[in-house]
Amino acid sequence: MTVLNSKIPKGPLAEKWSEHKAKINVVSPANKRKLDVIVVGTGLAGASAAASLAELGYNVKAFCYQDSPRRAHSIAAQGGINASKNYQNDNDSVYRLFYDTIKGGDYRAREGNVYRLAEVSGSIIDQCVAQGVPFGREYGGLLANRSFGGVLVSRTFYARGQTGQQLLIGAYGALNRQISTGKVELFSRHEMLDIVKIDGKARGIVARDMVSGEVKKYGAHAVVIATGGYGNVFFLSTNAMGCNGGAAWQSYKRGAYMSNPCFVQIHPTCIPVHGDQQSKLTLMSESLRNDGRIWVPKKKEDAEKLQKGEIGPNDIAEEDRDFYLERRYPSYGNLVPRDVASRAAKERCDAGFGVNNTGLAVYLDFKYSIERLGKDVIEARYGNLFQMYEKITDVNPYGEPMQIYPAIHYTMGGTWVDYNLMTTIPGLYSIGEANFSDHGGNRLGASALMQGLADGYFVLPYTIGDYLANEIQTPKIDTNAPEFEEVAKDVKNRLDTLMAIKGTKPVDYFHKKLGKVMWDYVGMSRNAKGLQKAIELIAEIKTEFWADVRVPGEQNELNQELEKAGRVADFIDMADLMARDALARNESCGGHYREESVTEEGEAMRNDEIGCYASAWEFKGEKEEPHMHKEELKFETVELTQRSYK
């Protein structure tokens, strides 16, 4: 019944990728010049792909909703990027990076994909250095590393607390170079609103020019979605305001299956929510857990005094501090994976030990490392993060511990892709955070940048050739074809409908309401009853939205409320699918914590009997229930064990 073919090559794990590369089709340089590729998104995944494809000779059209590719949300990544270079001589290897990623993902990712990711990781660092990325260095001039959660080696490369920015500037430079040669045509401030299929194959997109409001059609021999994650379903997250799931959702509605939508990462170290006027949450990089110690008071009365503001953190004696991660997980301590650290913080706060006025915060304290290393060293490592913290909270973290709390951060789920990164629509690819491929139930820190760049620089440029080799006879795609007209009409109709509702409530009203439902029932802790309730509440929000949203202004002008309305409409639909996926997965794994599936100590309990699959949801129509296909996950190399970070 299931139509899914993951196309994982046969043979030993370590040889799969080289075998596969050796066998797939290649397009000749003369033919590449005749082929067009659309890349939607210019973050690390999209920019690296667009640049690499153009270097190979394809004609690329690149799209982003910001005014410049450099502003894609990859820019905000702080802590670093992993690679198994073993520069530290600490016994790191491709296998170890592969194993850590599979284990960190709680055995819900494909072995073949993850091994390939680890295999190409080293080349990413080489590439970035060649582009002029100013990675942190040791005095001897060699590259420096730091440690991230969930691993026992030091393999994270970084550029201060601005790693994503520097990597993106590198990829953006490569992209600019191709724009300057005319091989890439850039459409900034253009939002993709649908994809176009002809004879079942992806042949283009329909996008709205966000300045003029014009709905335009673009054709190509293949389309690549690199539009990032959908964490903003929750309204409050560490994502940028414009991050959205729109392109992925439109692809889903046209036949691309959506995989594991319930796998969302909640990051343990974010600045806590301050009030109901808040628009987004700010991450404090995981790298801080290298040098910061997490604690709450041991005594309830101390916590209560902190909550009332009667005492400060420095009033609490050393022996009255509960370093709960070090206590519960002695071998990994403060560097347990994100899902574990987040739940532990929630557990302490739910038990009444939270340290701020809302009771939803714990301390991240640098006092100990400042004593050990000196303030200068800490400043050199994290200066920009400390400044960011102080600007937001007005508290100086050199003198007082930071307050942190978990927040929505990353989406492991996304468009289902095969080993070639192709979706279930032929000719439609999905890369970076937009796809589901490599992180299973939980992503390890510093692995998203690695995956985005692996996909864009070293995987897609090869695998897309396999498909395009059969397209060399296909002439330029005619955007006047009826299929394009049809989709453009659908897009305009939807925009017209949104404008015509002329209800009473701004878009944000619905978005906040949706976010609250998602955080309460589809957030850090989930159960069947809550998920069913969420599905009902989401349906109510949907009805209310389409009856009462107010979109001011005109369609044929720059209209930020209209942009938001379209995105929130998609978030509402997506939320429903996330809740369904969470309900169907009756086990705890990674970031997905089902209260029905826990150990006696309250740790998440995976259930490999029922959970060894990647879900792949098929859209069946607006009024129909979606259908879940299952891709069974086969583990040929690693042995499945309950994760333990004790």
Ligand X SMILES: Cc1cc2nc3c(=O)[nH]c(=O)nc-3n(C[C@H](O)[C@H](O)[C@H](O)COP(=O)(O)OP(=O)(O)OC[C@H]3O[C@@H](n4cnc5c(N)ncnc54)[C@H](O)[C@@H]3O)c2cc1C
Which listed residue (13, 117, 169, 220) binds other proteins by CB under 8 A? 169
446 φ/ψ sector (left φ>0, alpha ψ -120 to 50, else beta): left
Could you give the CA distance from residue 81 to residue 155 in angstroms, rounded to a whole number?
Answer: 8
If DSSP codes are grouped into helix, strand and coil, which group holds residue 315?
A: helix
Positions in 473-512 near ligand X (CB under 6 A)? none
Report if residue 142 touches other proteins, rule: CB under 8 A: yes
Residues 6+ apart with CB under 8 A from 255: 197, 424, 425, 618, 619
- Residue 428 binds to ligand X (criterion: CB under 6 A): no
| 545 makes contact with ligand X (CB under 6 A) | no
Residue number with CB closer to ligand X (170 or 611): 170
Q: How far apart are CA 222 and CA 433, in angstroms?
A: 19
Contact partner, 140, from ligand X, other proteins, none, Cβ < 5-8 Å per class = other proteins
d(CA 556, CA 211): 8
DSSP 36-68: EEEEE--SHHHHHHHHHHHHHT-EEEEE-SSSS
CB nearer to other proteins: pick between 136 and 426: 136
- 258-267 core/surface letters (b: 16 or more CB in 10 A; e: else): bbbbbbbbbb
Pick what 278 binds: ligand X, other proteins, none; C-beta below 5 to 8 Å, kind-dependent: other proteins
Please give the C-alpha separations between residue 81 and each of 74, 120, 154, 380, in angstroms, as whole numbers.
12, 13, 11, 18
Binding of other proteins at residue 637 (CB under 8 A)? no
CA dist., res. 630 & res. 627, Å (int): 10
Structure-token pair, residue 630: 């299952």
Query: Which of 35, 97, 283, 370 is the binder for ligand X (CB under 6 A)?
Result: 283
Taking CB atoms, the residue at the shortest distance from ligand X is: 43
Which residues in 216-245 contact other proteins (CB under 8 A)?
240-242
What is the rounded CA–CA span in Å between residue 367 and residue 370? 5
Binding flag, residue 358, other proteins (CB under 8 A): no
Give, for 184, the enclosing helix (H) or strand (E): strand 184-187
Site string for other proteins, 199-218 (x = CB under 8 A): ------------x-------
Per DSSP, 284 falls in state -
> Cβ distance 169 to 180 under 8 Å?
no
227 binds, among other proteins, ligand X, none (CB under 5 to 8 A by kind): ligand X
The amino acid that residue 525 corresponds to is: S
Q: Can you say how many angstroms the Cα of residue 378 is from the centroid of all Cα atoms in its chain?
A: 28
Among 141, 475, 482, 621, binds other proteins (CB under 8 A): 141
Helix ranges, 417-554 (H): 448-453, 460-468, 482-501, 507-521, 528-548
Site string for other proteins, 453-492 (x = CB under 8 A): ----xx--x-------------------------------
Residue 210 lies near ligand X (rule: CB under 6 A): no
Q: In what order do the strands lie in the sheet with 627-632?
A: 414-415, 258-259, 613-618, 627-632
The minimum distance between CB 551 and other proteins, in angstroms, equals 8
Stretch that binds ligand X, among 1-9, 243-251, 603-611, 620-628 (CB under 6 A): 243-251
- From the list other proteins, ligand X, none, partner contacted by residue 469 (C-beta under 5 to 8 A by kind): none
- Contacted entry of ligand X, other proteins, none for residue 1, CB cut-off 5 to 8 Å set by kind: none
User: Contact between 376 and other proteins (CB under 8 A)?
Assistant: no
The minimum distance between CB 242 and ligand X, in angstroms, equals 7
Question: Which of 38, 175, 210, 226 lies at the binding interface for ligand X (CB under 6 A)?
Answer: 226
257 vs 509 by CB, closer to other proteins: 509
Piece in contact with other proteins (CB under 8 A), picked from 100-108, 177-185, 254-262, 471-479: 177-185
Touching ligand X, residues 29-88 (CB under 6 A): 40-46, 63-66, 72-74, 76-81
Positions 521 through 550 that interact with other proteins (CB under 8 A): 550
Interface with other proteins (CB under 8 A), residue total: 80
Q: Are 28 and 440 in contact (CB under 8 A)?
A: no
47 binds other proteins (CB under 8 A): no
Say which entry of ligand X, other proteins, none residue 637 contacts (CB below 5 to 8 A, set by partner kind).
none
Q: What are phi and psi of 174, to 5 degrees?
A: -60, -40
Rule CB under 6 A: which residues touch ligand X? 40-46, 63-66, 72-74, 76-81, 163-164, 191-192, 226-228, 238-239, 243-244, 246-247, 283, 285, 409-410, 432-434, 446-449, 452
